[in-house]
Amino acid sequence: MAKLYFYYASMNAGKSTNLLQADFNYRERGMATMLFTAAVDDRFSAGTIASRIGLSAAATMFDPTTDLAALALARHAATPLACVLVDEAQFLTATQVDQLAALADRAGIPVLAYGLRTDFRGALFDGSARLLALADSLVEIKSVCECGRKATMNLRVDAEGRPVAEGRQTEIGGNDRYVALCRRHFSAALGDP
């Protein structure tokens, strides 16, 4: 039976690197995969999943209107898919997560989704919340805070490196905009007691 997996972590934990490694493992064995990435993530070239260590692969872009199941099933009809991999899964809608669950349950295609659990305020993303509710397997990818503890929070910073506590939930950025911290240091950075 195919499963829906959710691999989650704070920023800079290696989620995209892990996804690209999983994709490579399937393809090395002659198995077809389909990769998705969020259209809103424009840090690299459009339609590319890229890791900070230099690995990259072409991917199909999705936005809130994309029917991921329809795209995957069309590809599967032409070339049987061994796996569907989704980067930036926090940007999925709840409906899209339901589509991915149906791919696993009805089409027998394993789905590996990689993304953030929470935003810069510590709130769940819609896609992440639905994945936490539906995924057959939840896997935390570990990252490290500056103090050595496990980093679970994503602190947004401005151009001068000062913490940002308000703003849109989605603001694309990397090390220039986000710092992965443990909960204690995240709270301290925002001035919480």
Residue 76 known to bind ligand: no
Residue 175 known to bind ligand: no
Residue 169 known to bind ligand: no
Residue 9 known to bind ligand: yes
Q: Is 122 left (phi over 0), alpha (psi -120 to 50) or beta?
A: left
Residue 7 known to bind ligand: no
Q: E strands within 59-157?
A: 60-62, 81-86, 111-116, 137-140, 153-157
The residue annotated as part of the active site, out of 28, 88, 140, 171, is 88
Cα–Cα distance, 131 to 20 (Å, whole number): 20
Confirm whether 28 is a catalytic residue: no
Residue 89 known to bind ligand: yes
Cβ–Cβ under 8 Å, residues 178 and 16: no
Cβ–Cβ under 8 Å, residues 169 and 123: yes
Residue 83 known to bind ligand: no
Q: List, by residue number, the catalytic residues.
A: 88
Please report, in range form, the residues annotated as the binding site: 9-16, 87-90, 145, 147, 178, 182, 185
Please report, in range form, the residues annotated as the binding site for ATP: 9-16, 87-90
